[in-house]
Amino acid sequence: YKHPPVNNLVKSRLTQCSAKCPKWWIGDGTCDKNCLNAECAWDNGDCDLTKIPRLAYLHVRKTGGTSLHKYLALMYASYGGNVCRIFSFDCNPCSCGYWDPNAKRNGLGTGMNACTIINRSQIDSETKCDGCVDDVIKHNCHYVELHHWDITLADSLRKIGFKIITMLRHPMGLLESSYNYEAFARHGQSGQIPGYTP
């Protein structure tokens, strides 16, 4: 979106703005999709994503990176960005992995399901994500978490303009958390990730 804020906006003059967009939401620092129209002054810049790069977070297993994903997803959601999460295994139910406190007011259900889930199963321990880049484009993802994929998917997104970040720590020094793939795999999830050699 390219709608910068207007200085000294007089909200009382927005007489055509829908009741679904209370005037106090306009320009409050949170992007509201109900206010993202000319009648509501395009939420007075709250949804301006022009200075925020598209970002892919390569969530490497055993790094404890789930908290970083939560913060990044919430930041992009607060600016009105489309948050996506690509799982490398079958998960049902799948979660967005973060709580969006503005989801309800934006008509996105509960705070834990306010993102787009892209689910791909691995076949024969391959980490290739067939069609994932096309899905990221289709869903207009501004931020995407690559949940336990390898660098090839991140590189494919880099080639279409995404910035790539990851978090690395010494994996052998960490206890496995319930968020790690291995914990899910022990409970009957299909697909495998290639073996890890320290």
Residues contacting residue 84 through CB under 8 Å, at least 6 positions apart: 115, 116, 117, 118, 135, 136, 139, 141, 143, 144, 145
Query: Would the pLDDT of 187 be above 90?
Result: no
Q: How confident is the model at residue 166 (pLDDT cuts 50, 70, 90)?
A: confident
Predicted pLDDT at 32: 83
Predicted pLDDT at 183: 42
3-state secondary structure of 125: coil
What are the pLDDT digits (tens) for 112-152?
777 888 877 665 555 567 788 999 999 999 999 988 776 78
pTM of the model: 0.68
Predicted pLDDT at 135: 92
Query: What does each C-alpha distance from 135 to 16, 22, 60, 129, 146 come to in angstroms?
Result: 36, 33, 21, 10, 13
Q: Whole-angstrom Cα distance, residue 68 to residue 51?
A: 21
Point out the least confidently predicted range of 3-7, 39-43, 173-177: 173-177
Q: What is the mean pLDDT of residues 25-54?
A: 85
Query: Would the pLDDT of 94 be above 70?
Result: yes
161 vs 177, higher pLDDT:
161
